[in-house]
A and B are shown apart, each in its own frame.
Chain A
Amino acid sequence: MMWFLAQEEAKPVLGLFVEGTIVDIIVVLLLGILIWVMVSRARTGRPIPEIKKIAGLEAIDEAIGRATEMGRPVTFIPGILSVSNAQTLAAFGVASHVARQCARYDTRLLVLTCDPLPYAVLEEITRQSYLEEGRPDAFNPDDVRFLSAEQFAFASAVIGVYERERPAANIMIGAFYAESMIFAETASFQGMISIGGTAHTHQLPFFVAACDYALIGEEIYAASAYLSKEPVLYGTVVGQDILKILVWIIILIGGIVATVNPETTFGKLFEF
């Protein structure tokens, strides 16, 4: 407690540049180049590596199909963080696909949000998706809901929606915390088909245990590309995958070098 009291209040500073190492900027540039090359190739129809099957994403269409057959709604929750979180951005891509499918099959979609910014963005995404499917009349702005900015008040409101609207499918993609178990368990209890995906390792176990399908970590970032097959998104995921393979090789080399010579300064190369 004394430590906190001893600290001076941090003053915000207006700035455009972030302090970092040369390797940081090289990694960002390399990633940018890889993505640019892959996106260009995808756009011009030249071959790029194909994204392999991800079972959890295949299940999204199945879940919407089930809701359509039962004449009941689909719920989509994009996590509880704002738009400065990568997982929320990933959720937007999936939301677009889900909204398109719901518009196509004339299934009611309820989007439940916990932050005002994703709420505004998702309303726009959902509206646009309905428009692109030629069903602007089917879009109901009241079905995109901001429930509460407080985590557990949001959780209780979501349970209320589950109870009163009786959805048949529940899709949760994004940044979740302790409320994830409440959603997944209630959805399971009510017999909904549930698909959960997050990159938060401490919440993933709940989705794996209580959802019918779970998207583990990185899979949610590949989701929108996989679902839409849109060249820009597809090329982005392929570019990132190539960087991951490079990282894999670097770790392997680093391990071998450290084993052969424990005094090696190989790791220092990445601190410039």
Chain B
Amino acid sequence: MNISTDPAIWTQAICILAVYTYLYKDNPIWRLAETVYLALATTYWFVFYFFTYIQPAIVDKAIGEGEWHYFLAVILGLMIFFRYIPSVAWLARYPMSFWVGYGTGYILSFEPAVWLTQITSTFLALNSIQNILIFIGVLSTLTYFFFTLAKENPVVGGVAEVGKWYIMIALGSAFGNTVLYRWNLFVARANTLLFDWLGVGQA
């Protein structure tokens, strides 16, 4: 064994072990790790947002280059703080409404092109097992998501049942894939502890 003397490796190892203590139960070491992580993330995102959005928009564009329309976004953004003043709290609904409206409009603008590509990609000649499986899979899965057709109807129910099997097989495959990925993450952490930190197997 050749234990590391690098403070960065020690910090990494202590953090990993602190988080793993949760596997036993909730404890002060885990709570410390959780709080430190939250504090670091909050600080990081505050700085990130400041230099990515606030500084370029207000300092560079609005003030520096005189692009006044950036002030509209600033005003709209600041209006959200009216929620802390009860007498004018209703004003805070405007930026929220703007954002929800923007989100809905964005989805309606860009989603149809994605759906249409998926639809036309399913116009397959049924001349191979793969094409037949895809074709049946799309139609039966779509049937599973018909909310107004009674699944008690033997035809609709039967096709929807096939769709359910397709969904479950796909989810099972995705589950296995991701479990393997998580296992890889654990192996990477074990490597850090055993080899980088403790220097197991090193002279």
Contacts and interface: CB of A to CB of B under 8 A. Distances in A.
B50 interface: no
A97 B145 CA distance: 22
Contacts, number: 179
A89 B122 CA distance: 29
A250 B120 CA distance: 9
B85 interface: no
A252 to B, nearest CB: 7
Contacts of A51: 147-148
A248 B142 contact: yes
B183 interface: no
A83 B99 contact: yes
A157 B38 contact: yes
A266 B145 contact: no
Nearest to B172: A205
A13 interface: no
B45 A156 contact: no
B42 interface: yes
Contacts of A241: 146-149
B34 A160 contact: yes
A23 interface: yes
A238 B123 contact: no
B106 to A, nearest CB: 5
B141 to A, nearest CB: 9
Nearest to B167: A216
Interface in B20-55: 22, 26, 31, 33-34, 37-38, 40-42, 44-45
Interface in A19-35: 20-21, 23-24, 27-28
Contacts of A24: 112-113, 116
A20 B113 contact: yes
B100 A83 contact: yes
Contacts of B88: none
Nearest to B84: A141
Q: DSSP class of A's interface residues: helix, strand, loop or mixed? A: helix
B37 A153 contact: yes
B83 A123 contact: yes
Given A160-B31, A208-B171, A23 B116 contact: yes
Contacts of A124: 83, 92-93, 96
Interface string A158-179: 0110011000000000000000
A183 B110 CA distance: 31
Given A52-B147, A270-B116, A252 B139 contact: yes
Contacts of A257: 123
Most chain-A CB neighbours within 10 Å: which of B96, B148, B168, B174? Answer: B148
A244 B145 contact: yes
Interface in B128-148: 135, 138-139, 142-143, 145-148
B152 to A, nearest CB: 9
B150 interface: yes
A84 B38 contact: no
Contacts of B113: 20-21, 24
Most chain-B CB neighbours within 10 Å: which of A24, A147, A209? Answer: A24
Most chain-B CB neighbours within 10 Å: which of A86, A149, A218, A255? Answer: A255
Nearest to A262: B125
Interface string A232-272: 00000110011011011011101101110010101100110
Nearest to B69: A14
Contacts of B99: 82-84, 117, 121
B151 interface: yes
A228 interface: no
Interface string B42-82: 10110000000000000000000000010000000000100
Contacts of A270: 116, 119-120
13 contacts: A27-B116, A52-B147, A85-B103, A86-B103, A92-B100, A120-B83, A121-B100, A123-B83, A157-B38, A206-B178, A209-B175, A259-B126, A267-B120
